Amino acid sequence: MAGLPPSDEPSETVHTLCERCSALSFDDSIFSDYVDENSSTLFSQAADDRDGQTIELYELSDRYPQLPNLTASAESGCAFCGLLRDATLRLNYLTEGCHITYHLQYLWRPKWAPELGLYALRANLSVAHVVDMHDDIEISGKSSLAFFVESEGECKNWLQTLQSPHQRALCKENVNWILEHLQNDDQKFGNDLQLDFVPTRLVDVGFAGGSDGIRLVDTTEWAVPSYLQYVALSYCWGGPSEAAQQLRSTSLSVQQHCHRIPPEKLPWAIQDAVKVTRALCIRYLWVDALCIIQGDEKDWARESRNMGLVYSNAYVTICALSSSKCTESFLDRPNRVRVPFGSSIKPELSGMIQFHPYPQHGSSMQYDAFQDLGPEFRWLEESNSTWTNRGWTLQESQMSPRKLLFGYSRIHLSLRKIDVTEMKIGEEPNSDPSVHNVLIDFHAHGDRSPVYEWWTAHGSDFEDRKLSDRRDKFPAMSGLAKVIADTIQDEYVAGLWKGDLIRGLLWETTVKCIPESQTQHLQRCVRPGSSTYISPSWSWMAKDAYLEWPNAHEHSISSECKSIRAWCQPESADLNPYGRITDARVYADAKYVRINADLELIPPTSNSRQWRAVLDDSTVAICSLDWTMPDEVDTLALDNAYMLLLGSHIGSNHIKSLTEYVLRECLPDVEKGLETQCAVASHGGRDAWGLLIHPIGHGQFVRMGSFVIPANVGGLGPFEDGEWNSVELL
């Protein structure tokens, strides 16, 4: 095939090791009892426990950040000491002067991965920080660095390691593998997800084998077929310094780019995308920096509205997992250390073992959790990728029916129904089905609940991601919002859905944020009209933290309001009604009661911090605040706070068990009285759900948190005699 990269050639390099690291040349004699008389492997019997077996190698101490011991050994020629040093320097939690003790060990055959034997090399780190000038130290716990163990041929079969991937990501073998799977997917599903859509602009990369033929084309100016094959790129720009090096189309340069784009001016990530597009024999590539006119507000708003369609209709989307910025190549593969192996049991068997680091990007794996991860390459590479933490990539990933993910060590291909990984036999069901799969199910069954559940689940993911401009919160989800709104015929309002409004309002933060006071939180609730306004207080888009909602299937919440509706004003209703907003409000005729009791911290059972309030009638409200109090605060008197009742639900087992925990662990003084109340509570009692609110004007409030009053400790009781009020939430 014209233009294909050359075939991959196995590396013949054998790296030098120091005397200490020579232990990495695995000695299989420790398993001599597990080999039969024909020297056939019975290693499958070598570990019977769930987590497999650890094989201790050696211990080493050093001091950060100079790491003199590792550095001296690396400079003397030990390749693995250099690899271990570089992996340590990438960790972002170490402090200057801390002492590190490394404990090296092989990991053998966990029970949950029966096809593997020697599957990883782990360096457990014991870190001790210097706490004063006398060099006193304090042990701060344990973590770990990990390395894949790979080999080939008979050596792989004997040691049951992972298969070594190709040395080059874009070799002929990998390109043929990608094309074969894409073509098989075409035959199974055709272009049933393609719409009559072509992006406004595309980068013409020429045909396979081309070199300098790169230019921008405006598809509105020339005839194009109703279906045009193109590749989309999903990647990270990086920080301000890297983004400044990004070649962009502006109002001044767009005409020049339509004539020619100098390849040498493209950052590495886009150069790589051009190479991949050509290797797939596809002529057109969509890249945001070049296909959207940067600095043109109208063009940006219009194109961000169509972003979902761009990724939905791409032949395949390239996802640059392994690069954290546009100036990094995603085709480069990590350095590997290759060491010889010779079997003590079968002298005629020899080969090579190679190591390279797990993708960890700055943080170490927890010491006691590492063995639970296993060699799930895509999960490891996505979860440890800067790409996964970028706000825009959630929409780009979810709107793409097919994704070509270039990981740190392997290529992964996510098709419409299956996932496959380079050099891994077999296929798996989609680990994270795209929004299209969810909407196909909606067409089949007509049930909106799974769509709402999908939206809130991915809303939780989105809020934990980073945006270089917080004003992009709504635009970065606008493509998803549009396709869902068009499909389920529901109204989208500031991140919530009209058909799921009450449950949508009941989000709560589950991860601690920067501590602040109620006053500081209220000051951050920006009102409409301000130049810094992004979101109303009642929308989950107002937060930058991981969130949770009541489960849509368990908690089919009925409204307790006479009426409730939400409204918002898009910044540009014509260009992108799902993008930035200038105002949004919830209007409700509902009941609310003042909170006169102090809030007491419930001993946390997870990362979330919940509070209890015992009201005048012994009702117990379980509250979640929209901000984090300092750790030393366990009692809180809210200033001018109210509980706004929104909905109710027949008492659920989850809420009942939470109540029992609160009674048993948190309220020993009032437990007896409440036990009686719990005992006589009707089985038909309803949990009360609502928001904690604070008044800012006549009938106007902002949100401060959420609450639930379980049926067996009050439920709707506090609101039964309350008056109806007109409430306007900003």
In SS3 terms, 316-371 reads as EEEECCCCCCCCCCCCCCCCCEEEEEECCCCCCCEEEEEEEECCCCCCCEECCCHH
Q: What is the mean pLDDT of residues 262-280?
A: 96
Tell me how far apart the alpha carbons of residues 251 and 296 are, in angstroms, rounded to a whole number: 7
What proportion of the chain, given as a percentage, has pLDDT over 90?
51
pLDDT at 344 over 50: yes
Exposed e or buried b for every residue in 188-213, given b needs 16+ CB within 10 A? eeeeeebeeebbbbbbbbbebeeeee
Residue predicted with more confidence, 319 or 46: 319
Judge whether residue 681 has pLDDT over 50: no
| pLDDT at 665 exceeding the cut of 50 | yes
pLDDT computed for residue 485 by the predictor: 95
| Torsion, Cα of 371, 372, 378, 383 (10° steps) | -100
CA dihedral defined by 305, 306, 307, 311, rounded to 10 degrees?
150
Alpha-carbon torsion (53, 56, 57, 60), positive or negative: positive
Which tokens hold the place of 717? 């009781």
In this model, does residue 671 exceed pLDDT 60?
no
The answer to whether residue 687 scores a pLDDT higher than 50 is yes
Report whether pLDDT(2) > 50. no
Q: What are phi and psi of 621, to 5 degrees?
A: -105, 135
Max intra-chain CA distance, the chain? 88
| 59 — pLDDT class (breaks 50, 70, 90) | very high
Most confident of 199-203, 387-391, 613-617: 199-203
Q: Higher confidence at residue 188 or residue 62?
A: 62
What token pair was written down for 349?
Answer: 């068997």
The band of 254, judged by pLDDT with boundaries at 50, 70 and 90, is very high
Phi/psi at 679 (5° precision): -65, -35
Mean pLDDT value of segment 21-50: 70
pLDDT average, residue stretch 103-108: 91
Residue 24 clears pLDDT 90, i.e. is over it: yes
Q: What confidence score (pLDDT) does residue 647 get? A: 94
Q: Is 599 helix (H, G, I), strand (E, B) or coil?
A: strand
Does 6 sit behind a cis peptide bond, omega within 30 degrees of 0 on the bond before it?
no
Cα torsion 317, 323, 325, 328: sign: negative
Note the pTM of the prediction, 2 decimals: 0.86
Both tokens assigned to 140: 């701060």
Whether the predicted pLDDT of 660 surpasses 70: no
Q: What's the confidence (pLDDT) of residue 527?
A: 84
Which residue, chain included where needed, has tokens 């490891």?
Answer: 380
Structure tokens at 313: 């209709």
Structure confidence at residue 310 (pLDDT): 94
In which band, very low, low, confident or very high, does the pLDDT at 676 lie, cut at 50, 70 and 90?
very low
Report the distance separating Cα 129 and Cα 135, nearest Å. Answer: 9
Task: Give the integer Cα–Cα distance in Å for 623 and 613.
Answer: 7
For 729, what's the count of Cα atoms within 13 Å in the CB-facing half-sphere? 28
How far CA 672 is from CA of 664, 678, 713, in Å, comes to 10, 10, 12
Q: Angle at the Cα of 616 (from 612 to 622), degrees rounded to 5?
A: 20
> Binning pLDDT at 50, 70 and 90, where does residue 477 land?
very high
Please state, rounded to an integer, the average pLDDT across all residues of the chain.
Answer: 85
The residue behind tokens 């109208």 is: 298
Termini Cα distance of the chain:
61
Torsion of CA 194, 195, 200, 201, to 10 degrees: 10
Q: What SS3 state is found at 501?
A: helix
Phi, psi of 318 (to 5 degrees): -80, 125
| 494-515 pLDDT tens trace | 999 999 999 999 999 877 677 7
pLDDT band (50, 70, 90) for residue 160: confident
Taking residues 546-573, report their average pLDDT.
Answer: 85
